[in-house]
Amino acid sequence: MVDIHCHILPGLDDGSDNLEESVRMARLAVDGGTKAIIATPHSNVPDSYRNYCNKSFVDTFNTLKERIKQENIPLKLYAGHEIFASGDIVTLIKTKRLLTLRNSRYPLIEFAFKERAEIVYQKLGELVAEGFTPIVAHPERYAFVAEDEFAPMRLKSMGCLLQVNKGSVKGSFGREAHVVSKSLIKHEVADFIASDAHSPYMRTTYLSDVHEIICDIRSQEYADLLLSINPEKVIRNKKIY
Ligand SMILES: [Fe+2]
């Protein structure tokens, strides 16, 4: 499996606190059948985590990558951002201050949980118009999705893809996110499942349990599509549909 959303880089956001925690997250990922992780720290969040790509960001990434290698952990690590949709994200991405997932056509985009629908569609539309294929992080957690059953299909019809969180499927983010995430899977509307892991203790990098849940809700083929086949296409910058 390939995990496209993971807060494994140490000390940059509310994810891993330090290098040792990051190494534990890497080991746990491998134990759960993950072969590659795209590190996606929160970024571009107003008055909070900025994390624009600079020397310090690259050094943090390279330090963890080197440590994973030294520890002989069979895990590939790639760089990305979980991009908070505020300001001129198109320019920030084009100038590489914000990273798409492994420098692909796919930026991982998040919103405030109560962001207004028109802002969401406007921001995503700007990215699509510039040739990007935005991946919407955890749509099941947003108010505008809970309030409009057609929102997921509208996002997809405008050219976005949907990444559901492992924790939502397991019921860790409340009833609404649980119900919506299961519906997205049951109707094969979701395109990815990712860990959105923040530590080796809670919200972890372990993915094989959620693979089993998807098999039960829908099918093994769809579980493989969400956790392996589509994420592989992202790291190779291949078209998904
Ligand atoms: Fe996240």
Q: How remote is the CA of residue 14 from the centroid of ligand 1, in Å?
A: 9
Q: How remote is the CA of residue 105 from the centroid of ligand 1, in Å?
A: 19
CA 167, CA 107: separation in Å to the nearest integer?
21
CA 233, CA 88: separation in Å to the nearest integer?
27
Q: How remote is the CA of residue 72 from the centroid of ligand 1, in Å?
A: 26
Residue 229 has pLDDT above 90, yes or no: yes
Average pLDDT, the chain: 97
For 2-235, the fitting CATH number among 3.90.550.10, 3.40.50.1370, 3.20.20.140, 3.30.379.10 is: 3.20.20.140
Mean pLDDT value of segment 126-133:
98
- Tokens 């057609």 locate to 150
Is this prediction's pTM over 0.95?
A: yes
Q: Cα–Cα distances in Å, from 164 out to 60, 142, 234?
A: 27, 11, 15
> What is the structure's pLDDT at 150?
97
Model pLDDT for residues 33-90, shown as the tens digit of each residue: 999 999 999 999 999 999 999 999 999 999 999 999 999 999 999 999 999 999 999 9
Residue 121 has pLDDT above 90, yes or no: yes
The residue extents of the domains of the chain are: 2-235
Q: How remote is the CA of residue 142 from the centroid of ligand 1, in Å?
A: 13
> What is the structure's pLDDT at 241?
85
